A and B are shown apart, each in its own frame.
Chain A
Amino acid sequence: MEFLVASAIGVMTAGGLYLVLRLRTFPVILGISLLTYAVNVFLFASGRLTVGAPPVLVDGVETYTDPLPQALVLTAIVISFGMTAVVVMIALGSFLGADDDHVDDQPEEDEDDAQAEGQQ
């Protein structure tokens, strides 16, 4: 089981990194999302894996999962939504402003980029 979780983290990281290194905004956003999953699962796993434990306090039960990483990851998930939304908005704004969704500055279109930035 541990192997599966660890390898899932690895696979998602690898895919996320590859997509983050793409040249257009949309795949980069997908890559960031994948990385977010990987990081959240990684943080969650820092509480170690517990299968079948009750999610809330129950009398007579000794084994619980580690609640702290869960609480931290819970807010991380919500915050990452906020971050994704902002990044998408910025990508959209630059595309609408300059008609170009490259993530890198395009040397020959410096002027357009500058305008696009000015509009955001």
Chain B
Amino acid sequence: MSLFFIVALPFFGALLPGLMNSAGRSSCAGVTFTVSLAAFIGLLTNLPTVLAGGTVMAQIDWMPALGLNFTLMLDGLGFFFAFLILGIGMLIIAYGRQYLSREDHMGEFFTYLLLFQGAMVGIVLSDNILLLLVFWELTSLSSFLLIGYWKHLPEGRQGARMALAVTGMGGLAMIGGMLILGQIVGSYDLSVILQNREMIQADPMYVPALILILLGCFTKSAQFPFHFWLPHAMAAPTPVSAYLHSATMVKAGIFLMARMWPVLSGTPEWFVIVTTAGLITMVLGAVIALFKHDLKALLAFSTVSHLGLITMLLGTGTAFGAMAAVFHILNHATFKAALFMSAGIIDHEAHTRDIRRLGGLRKLMPVTFVIATLAALSMAGIPFLNGFLSKEMMLEEANHTVLFDTWWFVPALAVIGSLFSAAYCFRFISHTFLGPVRDDYPAKPHDPPAGMWLPPAILVVLVVVIGCAPFLVQDFVFLVAKAVIGGVEPLEVKYIKIWHGLVPALYMSIAAVVGGLIVLLLFKPLLKLWDAAPRPEAKVIFEWIVETAAAGARALIHPIHNGSFTRYAAVGSAAIIVAGYYAWVTGTVDEATREMQAPSAVTIAGWLMLVAATGALVLLHRNRFFSLILIGIVGLMVSVGFIFFSAPDLAMTQFTVEVVTIILLLLALNFLPKTTPVESSLLRRVRDAGVGVVGGLATFALSYHYLLRDAVATPISEYHLANSYKGGGGTNVVNVILVDFRGFDTYGEIIVLGIAALLIYALTETLLNSKVRARLLNRTPDQPRAGDMHPMMMVVLTRVIMPVVLMVGFYIFLRGHNEPGGGFIAGLVVSIGVVMQYMASGFAWTSQRLRYPYHGVIGAGVLIAGLTGIGSWFVGKPFLTSDFTYVRIPPFEKFELATAALFDLGVFLAVVGAVMLSLESFSRLARRAHTPDTEHPMDIDPSRDDPPKTVGASGGPV
């Protein structure tokens, strides 16, 4: 199966559990299992190639210009990890089916799980490191959802937040590291990067890149000092913990270190950082684990410790270390998943995970006892179980590793780590299962149904089989180790054996196990000592850091961002003016190249009106109604200016928009105060006038300057003029640009317009559902009401005009392609026609006659425009490619049919819908109690027998 399918299957499969949720828990789990199984089988189909030493590749160009391609690669290492992720994933799913209770939303759980699985598989199969980063962040996000799955538990939420903060931060650092790495090599493909060891290690940017990448790996794999998030992540449901701790999340960092091993390892920096971090983590995790009373906490810290062990092995930079690391990853995944599942079983059956309340369970839960004990003994490093083999290899490797010029340093710490590791395993077994049967368990424990113990049992069988017959997996481990090493160092074939003879590692191992037993016997006094000892709590430190950072941000932002819009506007304007001034004085000013055109008398008159209206608006803005008239004059003069300067399309648009804007502001003024009080001091007004004058002068100077000069480069408009008729089939170049050349822009713009209208609608709805509603219904208008709300003259006029307006709109729409006009203008014209009906007969009367809700009109418009664009796909052209032809239907003249007209229809509908929805929303606010809605189109009608009930009453909408 193609690698794409293996990665895509979990992602697409993630849709299924949610859909199957109502079909029952078994089918929900079943479909999830099937998805994983399909991906697993797909992976296995590639096994022959991998076993033959080959690499499977798959590539789709995504953004080749950025070096970001969807390139996947499957070699031994990738196969190994994908095998673990999918294989253990299936067991987790089967286990999760039994584990989750009826209150848990199973579909949601399995959706998150599959998303996570897909992201993990993506990481291990990525060839492009940018792609790998995308999957890397996806694991952070999806693990956040998984850890916080029990949203009602504060620990779950806190643990999820902490995991996201720590791993997300590491991910950010890693992005930096990966980018540097890509810059050094000149390619973002792993297959290329891995070939350039010398080039990378000789580069001065090697150390920064290494540190940044390691930050990502260490945070993900919970290495000291970032180890603290992992134990808190165990607030997740146990299947999640088992999955995250054994095969996935924390192994991602390990995977990346292994993947990058050929190019990053072998330098002193790598050796010191990675080995030290690994050693500290191993010892620290093991010591803390011993004193944890919560079974899952114990296991969580044991994971931290074992991750440290693997990191340490990768840090040594030798081929043998890499092989030991690979082997231990396999072994750890098997016994740790089994242990977590056992802990989950105990929690599920005994209703507690507190080791102090357990004991004697071997008689009550014999099956669980066998499974958990074998897995724990393997973790402790007891012969004939797989943990023993890799631990021996670790001790062997530690024996040859010299850190800080002290020969005993690494071996001693390795033994201490193993000793505590053995100790907590023994504690896990003896304090949970051994001892007398108690009678105070929160619930009477017994073995769970087979569905729950079978998954860990399968893993424990593997633990024993590998432990007794290591030669079965030996070749596979060699293969994976070779993929890790990548030919940097020769891998001498050292057979994995149970008995190596009387080597130092054996003595170290014996010392660790015996020491572990002694520690267990001394557990009580040691625990007292531990409880008495002061020790820093990582969670407290973490929260202190977060709090301090947040307080710092607040202290910085609150004084600046103090809620004064006026201040922001003043500072913003001043900053823009200063920046513009700087650009002006540092730029060059050429001589004027254009002749100034002589102004005509009409132009001067228009200019005078505009300037006078603007000046009057500033002076008289306190009278709000009057200022509406003044701004109307300004808008009108601007429209006239557009006509004068040969832009009739703009003039028509500006003019119609002007009308609807004024109506809108009038509607708003219905509620707002009618005057603006004098509040600001004279000084402040002078200051504001200063800002205004300087800003005005600046724009004047800039406009005047460029109006007298030709464009620096040839405008692309030449192309539009030349191709408008030939390519777009229209002589109105402006319209052809809108619906054809830049159709995609227009498409975006009508969507924005629709969203704005929907936003207004939503705000109105919210307002009408709040306490404002009562106030609106009961308000007394502050203006005298007209006696005749819906005058007959106006009603008759608007009715007569309506068809005319519609025809004009239709005409403007149709001619748009070749003459000034088009969908935008037609939409505005038709809207005005409809608004007039509202004005004449009132909101209630008109909306009763509304057949198509405006939301639908907006949607239809966007849909038509979009479908027109998609239509070009069917003829193999890019989105929104237009086509046109000329047809002649007698007795009409020959006319043009263009797909652009269909697109323009979408524009038209969207504009009508958006304008009408906005205005309608405003007028909805105006409905009041005590004023019945109008029943008739007009209040006075001589021919009517039933006089309206509201004669003489006042009020009502516009």
Contacts and interface: CB of A to CB of B under 8 A. Distances in A.
Chain B's interface: helix, strand, loop or mixed, by majority?
Answer: helix
B699 A85 contact: no
A29 B565 CA distance: 13
Nearest to B673: A101
Chain A's interface: helix, strand, loop or mixed, by majority?
Answer: helix
Nearest to A48: B707
B922 A6 contact: no
Contact of A54 (B646, B671, B715, B770): B646
Interface string B724-742: 1100000111110110001
A86 B756 contact: yes
Contact of A79 (B695, B706, B749, B760): B749
Interface in A63-84: 64-68, 70-71, 73-75, 77-84
A70 B650 contact: yes
Interface residues of A, number: 87
B205 interface: no
B654 A77 contact: yes
B384 interface: no
A101 B672 contact: yes
Given A85-B760, A93-B763, A79 B597 contact: no
A90 B650 CA distance: 28
Given A17-B696, A26-B672, A55 B614 contact: no
B402 interface: no
B201 interface: no
B808 to A, nearest CB: 18
B634 A12 contact: yes
B268 to A, nearest CB: 57
B696 A11 contact: yes
Contact of B566 (A23, A33, A47, A92): A23
Contact of A103 (B566, B646, B720, B766): B566
B51 interface: no
Interface residues of B, number: 119
A95 B672 contact: yes
Interface string A8-46: 111111111111111111111110011001101110111
A82 B756 contact: yes
A51 to B, nearest CB: 6
Given A21-B569, A21-B570, A50-B645, A89 B700 contact: no
A66 to B, nearest CB: 5
Given A8-B607, A70-B734, A81-B661, A15 B692 contact: yes
A4 B689 contact: no
Given A17-B695, A22-B621, A56-B731, A71 B738 contact: yes
B770 A119 contact: yes
Contacts of B918: 82, 85, 89
Contacts of A28: 565
B875 to A, nearest CB: 26
Contacts of B710: 48
Nearest to A64: B721
A52 B820 CA distance: 15
A30 B626 CA distance: 12
Interface stretch (B123-131, B213-221, B321-329, B635-643): B635-643
A21 B691 contact: yes
B819 interface: yes
The 3 closest A-B pairs by CB, nearest first: A14-B696, A10-B700, A105-B563
5 contacts: A2-B708, A24-B679, A42-B703, A67-B734, A92-B922
Given A11-B696, A70-B649, A74-B653, 5 more contacts: A6-B704, A15-B615, A20-B573, A30-B627, A44-B642
